[in-house]
A and B are shown apart, each in its own frame.
Chain A
Amino acid sequence: MTARRPATVLAGILLAAAAGSVPAATGAIATEGDAGRGKEIYARCGACHSLDYDRVGPHHCGLFGRRAGSVEGFEYSKAMKNSKLVWNSETLDRFIADPLKTVPGTRMGYAGIPDARERADLLAYLRASNDGPECSQMSAPRR
C-alpha cells in the first residue's frame, strides 16, 4: 500500500491540475463545497450508484444521518454492516478518500478521491440532491 502512495498522490495532482484547481496538500477537510462541481464528480460513481435506486451499490438519497450498511434489501458486505459508521460529512469524507482503508473488506473496490476539494464538492452535491427532485420523488421511504 505504502509503495503505491506516491503514484496516487501524483495522479491526484495531475487531475487537479487538469481541472485548474489547486490540490489540497494537507488533505484537510474542505468544508465549503460547490454542488455544481460535485455533480460532475458524482459521475465517477455512476457505474454503481444512483441517487434514487439501488444498483451494484446502494442509493444515496437519505445518506446523511443513515447508519452504514442499513438500506433494507441491499446486500452489503459484512465489513460495511459491521462498520458502526454513521454517515455524516466527516465519515463520508474519510470513506470517499480511501474506501478500502476506512472500511477494510468493503465490496466497494474503488481507490477513492484523494483531493479534499473534490470530496467537499461531491458531499455538497450529495447533500443538496437530497432535497432535489430525484430524492423527493423516491417511492420507497428515504432512509
Chain B
Amino acid sequence: MKHAIRPTGIAIAADDRRSFLRRSGLVLSGSAIALLAGRESLARDEAEGAAKTSDIDILNTALGAELEAIAAYQVGAESGLLQKPVLSLAVTFQGHHRQHADLLAKTVAKLGGKPVEPRSKYDFPVARLKNQADVLRFAAGLEQGAVSAYLGAVPVFGNRDLAKAAASILGDEAMHWAILRNALGEVPVPSAFVS
C-alpha cells in the first residue's frame, strides 16, 4: 500500500527557494559559487545544440531527484518517528539537498533551460515507515541511489565543469549514506568503490 501525501513543509521550501533565487543573481553558498567560479560564460562555452540540451536534461533530472529528497526528508522530520540526534541529522542533510537543488536550478537557468519545479505532491511508501529505523533505511536508500545517479551522470555530461559539480554533490551524498548506515548499526562504508 502506498499513500499520496502532501508534505506541508514542501510548499514553504519551494517558496523559500524561489524568493531566495529572486533576491539576487548570486545567492548560493560560498562553496557552490566556487564550483562554478569563473564559469560565467558557461552558457557560451557549451557546445551548441544536442550536447547542451542533453546537459540541461541531465541537470533537470538530477534536480527532480533532489527536490524529491527534500520532500522525503520533510516527511521523515514530520513523522514523529525520529528522535533528537537523528532528527537534527535529517534536517542538516535536507539543507544540503536544498543547496544542491539551488545550484542545479541556477545552472539549468544559466544554460538557458527551464528548471523543473517541485511537484505539488509526492508518493512515498509511508505505510512501510513504522519506526525510526524504517525512516533511516528509506533515507539511506535514497542517498545510495543518489550516489549512483551522480556517478552515472559524471561521464555523460558534455561539459567537464558540470561533471565536476556532479562529483562534488556525489561526495556529499556518499557521506550522508555512510552516516545513515552507521546510525542503523550497519557497516558505514560497505566497499572500496561505489557503483
Q: How far is the CA of A105 from the CA of B142 in the complex (A)?
A: 25
What residues of chain B lie closer than 8 Å to A137, measured between beta carbons? 1
Q: How far is the CA of A53 from the CA of B152 in the complex (A)?
A: 22
User: Are A48 and B2 interface neighbours, CB within 8 A?
Assistant: no
Interface 1/0 per residue, A1-37 and B, CB below 8 Å: 0001001100000110011000000000000000000
What residues of chain B lie closer than 8 Å to A56, measured between beta carbons? 61, 64-65, 68
Which of A62-70, A84-92, A107-115, A124-132 lines the interface with chain B?
Answer: A107-115
User: Are B193 and A45 interface neighbours, CB within 8 A?
Assistant: no
Q: How far is the CA of A19 from the CA of B142 in the complex (A)?
A: 22
Q: Given A15-B195, A47-B149, A111-B154, list of 19 further CB < 8 A pairs? A: A4-B155, A43-B145, A46-B148, A47-B145, A47-B146, A52-B125, A54-B123, A55-B123, A56-B68, A100-B54, A105-B54, A107-B57, A109-B54, A109-B62, A110-B149, A111-B153, A112-B152, A139-B1, A139-B2
Hey, which bits of chain A sit against chain B, CB under 8 A? 4, 7-8, 14-15, 18-19, 43-48, 50, 52-56, 77, 100, 105, 107-112, 137, 139
